[in-house]
Amino acid sequence: MSLEALIFDVDGTMADTEEAHRVAFNNAFERFRLDWRWSPDAYKELLKTTGGKERIAAYLATKTLSTAERKQLTALIPAIHAEKTRFYSAFVADGAVPLREGVEQLIDQALAAGCRLAIASTTTAANIDALLNATLGPRGIEKFSVIACGDQVAAKKPAPDIYQLALRHLGVDVEQVVALEDSRNGLLAATRAGLWTVVTPTYWTEHHDFAEAGLVLQHLGEVDYAELARLGDRRPRSEFSALYAGAAG
Ligand code: XBP
Ligand code: MG
């Protein structure tokens, strides 16, 4: 089977973004005069919940609040998250978040080989636009045939929905696609969609269990496109995709 497409996760895979997200969350909390501060250790735990709005809701669930306070703060989550996205997009637009090692070279090698690129991310389209523009230039987004992200699916990673959406739009056989991820939630989402997945962990996810990964690398500079195509092809996918394809998230 030839390698027809690569599906990139964004946060943690294309770029090590979570410290910028964490600071953006804390800036938004301050802007809303909330005494919430997410330390790196606390944020590492909170990252178990994918999606910024869902992460704030998960944090709220841990706090002792009156019914009225909880109702009022829950109603504020979309506004808090929109403010957070403004802070984060500004950091990224200022060049604060470079692509990880090997990402741009793999993108160029894949495109040169006629392989299409897609994104399957939990973050917002605004954040993805900002990152691709800041790192790959104003036409960087044109390198990607499909961008599946954020609230386009109700069930976020580790559910397979965002990868199934990207695969539907790509219109290629799952066995001709490799997914690139950084976290266990992302690995589970891609695996449940039947995808052979390469994981490149960061500080935020290095302690995760990557048992289902086809390959775990320090970064994408450790592999080139041709090698990825060869390695991805060697895996007996049928038992994998049969096991997970279409499984509930
Ligand atoms: C990682 C996430 C996102 C980011 C924060 O997404 O779970 O929620 O942490 O971004 P990915 P938002 O699937 O790209 O690894 O606040 O926009 O959700
Ligand atoms: Mg990620």
* Residues 144-197: tens digit of each pLDDT: 999 999 999 999 999 999 999 999 999 999 999 999 999 999 999 999 999 999
CATH 1.20.1420.30 fits 18-93, yes or no: no
Residues in the chain: 249
198 closest CA partner among 185, 223, 176, 181 = 181
Of the candidate CATH numbers 3.40.50.1000, 1.10.150.20, 3.40.50.2000, 3.10.129.10, the domain formed by 5-17+99-248 belongs to 3.40.50.1000
What pLDDT score was predicted for residue 1? Answer: 64
Is the beta carbon of 158 within 6 A of some atom in ligand 1? Answer: no
For atom 6 of ligand 1, which residue has the closest CA?
122
214 closest CA partner among 11, 194, 102 = 194
* Residues 90-149: tens digit of each pLDDT: 999 999 999 999 999 999 999 999 999 999 999 999 999 999 999 999 999 999 999 999
Mutate to test the pocket of ligand 1, among 9, 43, 46, 55 (most ligand atoms within 8 A of CB): 55
pLDDT over threshold 80, residue 242: no
CA of 66 relative to ligand 2 center, distance in Å: 34
List the beta bridge partners of residue 148. 120
Compute the distance between CA of residue 103 and CA of residue 94 in angstroms, rounded to an integer.
20
What pLDDT score was predicted for residue 245? Answer: 44
Token pair, residue 23, equals 């600071």
Is the beta carbon of 186 within 6 A of some atom in ligand 1? Answer: yes
Q: Is there a common fold for 5-17+99-248 and 18-93?
A: no
Q: What is the pTM of this model?
A: 0.93
DSSP state of 105: H
What pLDDT score was predicted for residue 30? Answer: 98
210 closest CA partner among 238, 180, 178, 245 = 180
Instruction: Report the alpha-carbon angle 127-131-137, nearest 5.
Output: 135
Query: How many CB atoms sit inside 10 A of residue 145's CB?
Result: 15
* Residues 26-42: tens digit of each pLDDT: 999 999 999 999 999 99
Is the beta carbon of 164 within 6 A of some atom in ligand 1? Answer: no
pLDDT over threshold 90, residue 247: no
Q: What is the secondary structure of 117-175 as a DSSP string? A: EEEEESS-HHHHHHHHHHHH-TTGGGG-SEEEEGGGSSS-TTSSHHHHHHHHHHTS-GG
What pLDDT score was predicted for residue 234? Answer: 62
Listed by start position, the domains of the chain span 5-17+99-248, 18-93
What pLDDT score was predicted for residue 233? Answer: 76
CA of 237 relative to ligand 2 center, distance in Å: 23
* Residues 38-84: tens digit of each pLDDT: 999 999 999 999 999 999 999 999 999 999 999 999 999 999 999 99
